[in-house]
Structure 1
Amino acid sequence: MDEIYIHHNQDDNDDVHNPNSDNNESESASVNLLHIVTASQAGMRIDKLSAQVFGEFSRAQLQDWLKSGALTVNDSVVKPKYRVKADEQLQLQAQIESHSEDKPEDIALDIIYEDDTVLVINKPVGMVVHPGAGNPTGTLVNALLYHYPNQAQLPRAGLVHRIDKDTSGLLVIGKTKSAQLELQEQLKDKSVYRHYRCVVAGDQASLMRHRTIDAPIGRHRSQRTKMAVIGTGKPAVTHIQEITELSANYCLLDVCLETGRTHQIRVHLSHIGHPIIGDAVYGSKSQLRSGLDVAQRQAVIEFPRQALHAYCLGFIHPETGEEIEVTAPLPEDMQALVSILAEG
């Protein structure tokens, strides 16, 4: 997949992965804590005091509980800026859910952006996003659970969307349930935007004729592990924003997703006859074009994965409403491929 969103309460299908499936049974534990405000604590904001006295939970989680009414003052729901009085009772009654049996693993993360509610990761090539058949460990989810233990309380450790193992680039993760749900909604209403860079076989003039690719995508009729453009598929729209000529028959593209179907960019570019270099599933021999010298031909043939990178991600911050945009540079293997194709 190039990118798909994860949304609750939908049937499991090709485009949306149900985070509560795949044997990830939810387990829950009850929390029932009481704190009496002391004279020295009087006048403190409730969000500040709760973070102090219920320090085993993150501030973002406590903020969520204040909003939901799981954390109250004298049995009343109050706003985070409420200032407590001496002898008032802070009552925390909540259920903490653990949605996964996945194990924490000490795997380094390239963190591009982080605050109390949102995390953006630059996923390296070769990392699977979440455990599944054939990939029980070594995934982004395993890494998240190690570095951020509270993510175990969220479906899929807070994942909002995902990208393929051999596609590099940016992923946004919710650190609270409300942030995760809000970001999922933004994906649906397209206030989250995602830009990719990819190296394709094709001349600039031909690619200019396909600035918008509007073609439905569904499961391949005979090869069930593949996707294809088929009339019975689901709507899929890809926009080619920029075309940078590298040589007569190869270009670097800036691509924007309007929808998020499985393998969308790869399928669409292959469908118009301009496959991504290194794409073993959708590229085949059609990625070899004329005019290559020996070194360039070898670079194209031996490129070990689809030359596709999610370089730009924009969203509206679920807490502040601020417009956030983050970028990640091309990984070294794609930089080297671009350089050798552009030589001469």
Structure 2
Amino acid sequence: MTRISERAQVPLDEAGRRFDQALAEMFPSFSRSRLTAWIKAGAVTLNGAVVAPRHLLQGGEEVVIEAELEVEVAAAAEAIALDIVYQDDDLLVINKPAGLVVHPGAGNSSGTVLNALLHFDARQAELPRGGIVHRLDKDTSGLMVVARSLAAHTALVDRLSRHEVVRHYAAVVMGTMIAGGTVDAAIGRHLSDRLRQSVRDEEDGKPAVTHYRLRERFRAHTLVQCQLETGRTHQIRVHMAHIGHALVGDPLYGGGLRLPKGASPELVEALRGFRRQALHAEHLAFEHPLTGEPMAFDAAIPDDMQALLACLRADAG
């Protein structure tokens, strides 16, 4: 376990404010929920005394934190290769291959990105969800940012919630699109199929916004770039299917294999053989959670999608 030892004086202008609220601003490296838990456990004192989170401050008091970071995750470390695009003491950016699950769950207790992260650095176990702040579906490839410190985790979660992390995806969809646009439609759990999400009324779902633009058109398909404004489960897959342009190969929302009239044998084989959603997280941009430095990363479209696009281009030509 990592020992946390911090000491600070409450600013005078915090007089009259709740202890837990002021503490969250004084120690932004830690989440408010973690600080509140430490207050309740007696790991944070005010002028040497243990007080309640709602205690009202006078200003000028001495705050002392003496706490231990407990293990947040219990998954096993596994020697799974990670394609690391960038790393420093506070974060990692990885390029996840299709087929790799991000976090253990039902039916996937091992062989995940989390297991790989714990093998890469055992200290990831001390971070919420092992430092994972956002996910990609199992069969979606591309870029993910992972926190390596509590301060980075808190900041990245906050920036994601405020839509300050730019995420662009390349997607091959069915049908020839005419123009780009925006899908603004709430998403929630499907009423009858618990594995799926669906567009729902605002009262039943969570707000979800996807912007998309055309990059390349083929005879019966389109390569689009999607930008997430929100990050709901299966968001791009649900939204594109909702507007009648489901992703090629999507087993949940694609509606089955569709072969364009007069397709070449090569294209037929490529479409039949593409057994994952044609979706790749190719661009990620954000400010460094500690330094504020602008950061941007790109990951090339993987070979399987490149091969599919080559067949679509040949068919269109």
TM-score range, shorter chain: 0.7 to 0.9
Structure 2 match to 1:134 = 107
Letter in 1 for 2:269: Q
Q: Is the CA contact 2:183–2:209 (under 8 Å) kept in the aligned structure 1? A: yes
Equivalences for 1:246-325 in 2 at 5 Å? Answer: 247-285=218-256, 287-325=258-296
The aligned counterpart of 2:215 is 243
How much identity, in percent, do the aligned residues show? 48
Partners of 1:201 and 1:288 within 8 A in 2: no
Distance 1:287 1:243, change over 3 A: farther
Q: 1:334 aligns with which of 305, 309, 314?
A: 305
Deviations 1:87-138 (A, max 9, x none): xxxx995412111110111111000111111110101111110111111111
Aligned to 2:171: 198
Please list the CA deviations of residues 197-235 of structure 1 after superposition, one character each: whole Å capped at 9, or x if unmatched: 011111132xx1x51111111111111211111223222
Q: What amino acid is aligned across from residue 238 of structure 1 in structure 2?
A: T
| Aligned mates of 1:137, 1:285 — CA distance in 2 | 30
Deviates more, 1:214-223 or 1:153-162: 214-223
Q: 1:143 to 1:248 in 2, by over 3 A?
A: same
SS at match of 2:240: helix
Amino acid at match of 2:304: D
Q: State whether residues 204 and 244 of structure 1, in contact with CA within 8 Å, keep that contact through their aligned partners in structure 2.
A: no
Q: Give deviations 1:120-178, integer Å, cap 9, x for gaps.
A: 01011111101111111110000000111111110111011001110001110111111
**Where does 1:1-344 land on structure 2 (aligned, <5 Å)?**
29=1, 31=3, 93-205=66-178, 208=179, 211-231=181-201, 232-245=204-217, 247-285=218-256, 287-343=258-314, 344=317
- CA contact 2:4–2:69 (8 Å) conserved in 1: no
Counterpart-to-counterpart distance in 2, 1:92 and 1:150: 20
Per the normalisation by structure 1, the TM-score is 0.71
Contact 1:200–1:287 (8 Å) recurs in 2? no
Distance of 1:196 and 1:276 partners within structure 2: 12
Q: Structure 2 regions of 5+ residues with no counterpart?
A: 6-28, 36-42, 44-63
In the alignment, structure 1 segments of 5+ residues that lack a partner are 1-28, 34-63, 71-90
TM-score by length of 2: 0.77
CA distance in 2, matches of 1:238, 1:96: 37
Task: Name the CA shift for 1:93/1:342 in 2 (closer, same or farther; >3 Å).
Answer: same
One-letter amino acid of the counterpart of residue 214, structure 2: E
Corresponding residue of 1:5: none
* Cα deviation, residue 264, structure 1: 0.6
Cα 1:341–1:150 shift into 2, 3 Å: same
> For residues 31 and 177 of structure 1, do their structure 2 counterparts lie closer, same or farther at Cα, with a shift above 3 Å needed?
closer
SS in 2 for 1:160: coil
> Residues 142 and 297 (structure 1 numbering): CA distance in 2 closer, same or farther, change over 3 Å?
same
Q: From the superposition, tell whether residues 342 and 317 of structure 1 become closer, same or farther in structure 2 (CA, over 3 Å).
A: same
CA distance in 1, matches of 2:4, 2:194: 49
Moved more, 141-150 or 294-303: 294-303
> CA separation of 1:341/1:183 partners in 2, compared to 1, >3 Å: closer, same or farther?
same
Describe the shift of the 1:112–1:30 C-alpha distance in structure 2 as closer, same or farther (beyond 3 A).
closer
Q: Distance between the aligned counterparts of 1:216 and 1:30, measured in 2?
A: 41
- CA distance in 1 between counterparts of 2:2 and 2:169 reads 43
Counting matched residue pairs gives: 261
User: Cα distance, 1:32 vs. partner?
Assistant: 8.7
Larger deviation, residues 284-293 vs 105-114: 284-293
| Paired amino acid for 1:161 | H
Equivalent pair of 2:214/2:222 in contact (CA under 8 Å): no
- CA distance in structure 1 between the partners assigned to 2:121 and 2:245 by the alignment: 41
Q: Is the 8 A contact 1:170 1:313 kept in 2?
A: yes
CA shift for structure 1 position 30 = 7.0
How many angstroms does 1:286 deviate by? 6.4
